[in-house]
Structures are given as structure tokens and as C-alpha cells.
């Protein structure tokens, strides 16, 4: 249940940004969640709905974008089929996950500014 502590960081970050820009309201937050980010999107949403009360995000919808984990060879670029061993048969190198596939990113904050 680390989703609650993540939401706490998210809301604090959004509030800091909103204050720095003297925003009067926050209209939308977009977060991307990688398949291998270790976050359950539904739990994340529930945690947000619970935690946002009384914050600047009280009425702000949270949009979640799910990013699939794609593994590929860093040398030849060959993609590893889902469920296969994470190495390249041809190059003998460990595969690398494409950006976003293992990350939790605050992408955009839509806010109302003077």
C-alpha cells in the first residue's frame, strides 16, 4: 500500500507548483504509470480520491496513462517477446526496458493562473 505515500508526494508536488505560479485552481493532473512501476493504477486512483480532500486538488481529476513495459536489446533493438527471457539471443546482451515502462511520472498539471 505504498500508493498512499506516492499520492502524498504527488499532491505536495502539485501544490508547490501551483503556489509558485500563483494558480487559483488546478484543473487536471496527468500521471503516467509504467507497467513495471510497481503501482496498481486502481489503488493509486483510490488513494488519490481519499487523500485529495482538503488539498488544492480537492476537485481536480487525475488522469492516469498506462505505459506497457517493452524490453529490447540495447545494441540491435530487437524487442523481447512478452514473457521471454530478458536477453538478446543474437547479441548476448541484457535487454533494457523502454523509457516510461518502469516509471511513475507526473506529466502535466493543468492550472488556472492569473
Partner 1 sequence: MCTTCGCGDTKVVPVDVHEKILAGNDRVARHNREHFAEQGVLALNLMGSPGAGKTALLEATAAAVRGRWRLGAVSGDLATDNDARRLEKAGIPSRAITTGQGCHLDAELVHHALHGFPWRELDVFFIENVGNLVCPAIYDLGQAANVVALSVTEGEDKPLKYPVMFKAADLVLLTKCDLLPHLDVRVEAVLDGLRRVMPRPRAIQFSARTGLGMPEWLSWLEEQRARVPSRGSTAPAHTHPPGEHVHEHRHGDGTVHAHSHDHAPGAGHEHPHDR
Nearer to partner 1, 50 or 108 (CB): 108
Residues at the contact surface with partner 1, assessed by CB under 8 A? 1-2, 5-6, 9-10, 12-13, 17, 21, 24-25, 27, 31, 36-39, 71, 83-87, 94-97, 102-114
Tell me how many degrees the CA angle 9-14-18 measures, rounded to the nearest 5. Answer: 150
Nearer to partner 1, 76 or 86 (CB): 86
Nearer to partner 1, 53 or 113 (CB): 113
Q: Which residues of 69-96 are buried (b: 16+ CB within 10 A; e: fewer)?
A: ebbbbeeeeeebeeeeeeebeeeeeebb
CB of 53 to partner 1, least distance (A): 18
Amino acid at each position: 500500500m505504498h500508493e498512499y505515500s506516492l499520492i502524498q508526494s504527488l499532491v505536495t508536488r502539485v501544490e508547490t507548483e501551483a503556489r509558485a505560479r500563483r494558480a487559483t485552481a488546478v484543473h487536471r493532473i496527468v500521471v503516467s504509470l509504467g507497467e513495471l512501476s510497481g503501482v496498481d493504477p486502481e489503488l493509486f486512483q483510490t488513494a488519490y480520491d481519499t487523500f485529495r480532500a482538503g488539498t488544492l486538488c480537492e476537485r481536480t481529476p487525475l488522469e492516469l496513462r498506462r505505459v506497457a513495459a517493452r524490453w529490447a536489446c540495447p545494441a540491435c533493438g530487437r524487442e523481447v517477446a512478452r514473457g521471454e527471457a530478458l536477453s538478446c539471443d543474437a547479441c548476448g546482451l541484457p535487454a533494457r526496458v523502454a523509457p516510461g515502462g518502469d516509471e511513475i511520472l507526473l506529466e502535466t498539471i493543468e492550472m488556472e493562473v492569473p
